[in-house]
Amino acid sequence: MEQYKIDFIELLVRAGALKFGEFTLKSGRVAPYFLNVGSFYTGELLTGLARAYAQAFLAVGVEAEVIFGPAYKGIPLSVATVAVLSAQFKKEVSYCFNRKEAKDHGEKSLLVGAPLNENTKVFLIDDVITAGTAIRETMEILKNNGNPQVVGVLIAMDRMEKNNEGVNAVRAIEEEFKVPVFSIVNLDEVVKALHGKQVGGKVYIDGEMMEEIADYRRRYGV
């Protein structure tokens, strides 16, 4: 496993963004783990998160001119990621994000940042894909605002789960929009990095938690 992935997984648990326990998801499923990138609210943590997105973006090798972050969580992600790409990796990419509501004065645009048109190559970043609802909404927004070429999607973690229709949620998005979906890490990599190992003096995935994750995956995994 690449070092940036290991560093990112350790950052997730240190920041409290990846928690283990019992969590009821929007889908109604009760999961033994939960990811919330909203926990990256300090400058240091946000920079670490953006560095992981930047490294993964460079690793997948997709050429794009604009990184788009869907409101609301995607807003700081897109801005911080392009800043890290420029400052640490000398890679110039623009950012763009959407407002939840269009302005009724001044520039009455739904989008903020780089202008988009049919020739613009856009790369989406988000936290996770569960049912794919947020990605579908974003695709519709982009279609109606410049209709750029979406060349890829990058999420923080692939939960490796089926959606409510029993289909791999990530593959469903790829097939529907003919766009590759990448992740910084997936659940297999998280388990491999944390099972029985201490991070900051704590073991996050012990034998009991490993069983809970395995049971959850038997029911909902792909």
Q: Could you give the CA distance from residue 152 to residue 136 in angstroms, rounded to a whole number?
A: 13
> Is residue 120 a contact partner of residue 148, using CB atoms and an 8 Å limit?
yes
Q: Could you give the CA distance from residue 92 to residue 90 in angstroms, rounded to a whole number?
A: 6
- Smallest Cα–Cα separation from 147: which of 68, 79, 211? 68
Q: Which bin fits 46, alpha (ψ -120 to 50), beta or left (φ > 0)?
A: alpha
Name the catalytic one among 26, 90, 100, 105: 105
Rg, the chain, Cα only: 18
In whole angstroms, what separates CA 82 from the centre of its chain? Answer: 15
Q: Could you give the CA distance from residue 149 to residue 38 in angstroms, rounded to a whole number?
A: 28
Preceding amide of 33 cis, omega within 30: no
Based on the residue annotation, tell me whether 105 is a catalytic residue of this protein.
Answer: yes
Name the catalytic one among 103, 143, 197, 202: 103
Based on the residue annotation, tell me whether 195 is a catalytic residue of this protein.
Answer: no
What residues are labeled active site?
Answer: 103, 105
